[in-house]
């Protein structure tokens, strides 16, 4: 068994903030399972509305979570495709179902509280509907075989998700339902993280964080927080697209940058520009936080953070200032997925790749934990890794509040058993009960 890391040495968070979080949450420890309703019954490489509509069995899911002693469910209510899986008047819901409402109802009779994850800037459907709100490239270049030009919008083929046509439905018909679907097909699944999908390839868009897309998001937020008894609201993709360094160079952003910083600083590559990106994302965080609290002052606000180098990645590419964002939102959720980068089950080489990322993620967090001004609750993966790797991550990245596991579909029976034993023997059932 690997030794637990003394994380309290690395974090510099005021104790009252941790106390407030635990009090708001209502149990000493969080043990959360993530669920993506529209990614099908296995991993997360499919975009599958048919499954969400016809096969997603809410009671079966809640029973399984209770049996393994989970006290929290994190539902991805808005995924990167833009689908909104609740009863919405503002957004696009292709599932014909109020998935969130059904989970909230089922949760009432259990020890499980409902949290939601909300994809913010990445939104394929909005990219189709509002190309004028999509972020714009400021340079020409090539990435993963995709060419893009200065001035073009950042709508590209999706790296992760693929789509199968439902039985007896033609591509043309299905294209009406998923207008961002292309007729290109990915035939073979690979082993690296971005090559595991198979099927029709959809488009994906990163929206401009200075556009009306933000107003649209906040309208959705009010709908969710006002109408559903959720415990926490977590913003995902609260950032720029990490694949590119030249976003967003639309007229809105350039004008705003010039009016804030004058005509001297260089676009795309100056310190002022990186400050501007971080401020843009922090402004969204502030508006999001205020909107959530105005609808329900007790709802916990959170955000997902990608580990990596501070300057090159968090600042220059993502526009995520950890200190700023964690001063605004109540809790941060670092995504510690080393064994999603590879697994020993795919052979010795991929085991080594993943071990390297594990080492790197621990080191990165030790180095950067002091940037957080709020408590941190890690989310780590159970999909696409084996039981031993999963438990190793769970143990190592519990920073004191508990752990969230990603995700329900794709977790093996052996892993479910291990998760149950982990709750009983390492967290302690008394810590998971709500007061
Ligand atoms: Zn822009």
Share of the chain above pLDDT 70, in %: 97
Least confident among 28-37, 42-51, 351-360 = 42-51
Taking the centre of ligand 1 as the mean of its atom positions, its distance from the CA of residue 48, in whole angstroms, is: 31
Taking the centre of ligand 1 as the mean of its atom positions, its distance from the CA of residue 207, in whole angstroms, is: 8
Closest CA to 37 of 92, 84, 70: 84
Taking the centre of ligand 1 as the mean of its atom positions, its distance from the CA of residue 17, in whole angstroms, is: 34
Closest CA to 420 of 396, 387, 389: 387
Taking the centre of ligand 1 as the mean of its atom positions, its distance from the CA of residue 205, in whole angstroms, is: 13
Q: What is the pLDDT of residues 120-174, one digit of tens each?
A: 999 999 999 999 999 999 999 998 778 999 999 999 999 888 999 999 999 999 9
How far is CA 392 from its chain centroid? 21
- The pLDDT, as a whole number, for residue 193 is 53
Distance (Å, rounded) from C-alpha 70 to C-alpha 131? Answer: 41
Q: Within the chain, what is the greatest distance between any pair of CA atoms?
A: 61
Taking the centre of ligand 1 as the mean of its atom positions, its distance from the CA of residue 354, in whole angstroms, is: 35
Taking the centre of ligand 1 as the mean of its atom positions, its distance from the CA of residue 272, in whole angstroms, is: 16
Taking the centre of ligand 1 as the mean of its atom positions, its distance from the CA of residue 131, in whole angstroms, is: 12
- The pLDDT, as a whole number, for residue 192 is 58
- The pLDDT, as a whole number, for residue 159 is 84
What average pLDDT does the segment 104-112 reach? 95
Taking the centre of ligand 1 as the mean of its atom positions, its distance from the CA of residue 211, in whole angstroms, is: 6
Taking the centre of ligand 1 as the mean of its atom positions, its distance from the CA of residue 160, in whole angstroms, is: 24
Taking the centre of ligand 1 as the mean of its atom positions, its distance from the CA of residue 24, in whole angstroms, is: 36
- The pLDDT, as a whole number, for residue 15 is 87
Residues in the chain: 435
| 3-state class (DSSP) for residue 403 | strand
Does 216 have pLDDT greater than 60?
A: yes
Taking the centre of ligand 1 as the mean of its atom positions, its distance from the CA of residue 86, in whole angstroms, is: 28
Taking the centre of ligand 1 as the mean of its atom positions, its distance from the CA of residue 135, in whole angstroms, is: 5
Q: What is the DSSP string of 84-117?
A: B-S--SSSB-TTSS-HHHHHHHHHTTSS-EEEEE
Confidence band (pLDDT; 50, 70, 90) for 191? low
**First-to-last C-alpha distance (Å) of the chain:** 32
Taking the centre of ligand 1 as the mean of its atom positions, its distance from the CA of residue 136, in whole angstroms, is: 6
Domain residue extents for the chain = 7-128+213-431
| 3-state class (DSSP) for residue 309 | coil
- The pLDDT, as a whole number, for residue 435 is 78
Name the DSSP class of 428.
-
Taking the centre of ligand 1 as the mean of its atom positions, its distance from the CA of residue 209, in whole angstroms, is: 6
Taking the centre of ligand 1 as the mean of its atom positions, its distance from the CA of residue 402, in whole angstroms, is: 37
- pTM score, two decimals? 0.95
Q: Which two tokens stand for residue 330?
A: 């109540």
The CB density around residue 411, as the number of other CB atoms within 10 Å, is: 22
Taking the centre of ligand 1 as the mean of its atom positions, its distance from the CA of residue 125, in whole angstroms, is: 18
CATH number of 7-128+213-431: 3.20.20.80
């Amino acid at each position: 068994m690997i030794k637990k890391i003394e994380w309290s040495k690395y974090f510099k968070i005021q104790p009252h903030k941790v106390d407030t979080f635990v009090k708001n949450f209502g149990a000493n420890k969080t043990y959360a399972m993530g669920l993506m309703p529209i990614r099908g019954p296995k991993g997360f490489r499919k975009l599958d509305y048919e499954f969400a509509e016809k096969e997603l069995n809410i009671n079966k899911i809640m029973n399984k979570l209770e049996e393994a002693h989970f006290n929290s469910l994190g539902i991805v209510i808005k995924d990167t495709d833009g689908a909104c899986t609740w009863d919405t008047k503002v957004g696009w819901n292709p599932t014909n179902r109020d998935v969130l409402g059904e989970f909230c109802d089922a949760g009432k009779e259990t020890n499980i509280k409902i949290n939601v994850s909300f994809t913010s800037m990445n939104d394929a459907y909005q990219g189709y509907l509002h190309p004028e709100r999509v972020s714009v490239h400021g340079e020409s270049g090539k990435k993963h075989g995709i060419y893009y030009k200065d001035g073009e919008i950042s709508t590209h083929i999706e790296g992760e998700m693929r789509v199968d046509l439902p039985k007896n439905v033609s591509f043309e018909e299905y294209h009406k339902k998923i207008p961002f679907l292309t007729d290109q097909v990915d035939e073979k699944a690979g082993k690296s993280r971005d090559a595991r999908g198979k099927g029709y390839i959809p488009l994906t868009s990163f929206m401009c964080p200075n556009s009306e897309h933000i107003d649209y998001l906040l309208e959705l937020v009010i709908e969710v927080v006002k109408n559903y008894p959720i415990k926490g609201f977590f913003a995902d993709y609260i950032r720029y697209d990490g694949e590119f360094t030249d976003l967003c160079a639309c007229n809105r952003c350039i004008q705003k940058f010039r009016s804030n910083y004058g005509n001297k600083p260089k676009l795309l590559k100056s310190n002022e520009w990186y400050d501007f990106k971080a401020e843009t994302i922090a402004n969204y965080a502030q508006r999001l936080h205020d909107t959530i609290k105005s609808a329900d002052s007790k709802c916990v606000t959170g955000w997902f953070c990608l580990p990596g180098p501070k300057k090159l990645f968090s600042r220059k590419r993502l526009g995520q200032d950890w200190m700023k964002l964690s001063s605004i939102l109540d809790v941060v959720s670092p995504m510690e997925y080393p064994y999603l980068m590879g697994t020993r089950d795919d052979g010795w080489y991929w085991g080594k790749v993943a071990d390297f990322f594990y080492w790197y993620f621990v080191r990165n967090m030790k180095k950067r934990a002091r940037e957080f001004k709020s408590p941190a609750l890690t989310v780590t993966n159970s999909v696409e890794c084996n039981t031993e790797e999963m438990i190793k991550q769970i143990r190592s990245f519990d920073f004191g509040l508990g752990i969230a596991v990603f995700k329900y579909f794709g977790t093996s029976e052996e892993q479910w058993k291990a998760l149950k034993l982990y709750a009983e023997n390492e967290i302690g059932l008394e810590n998971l009960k709500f007061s």
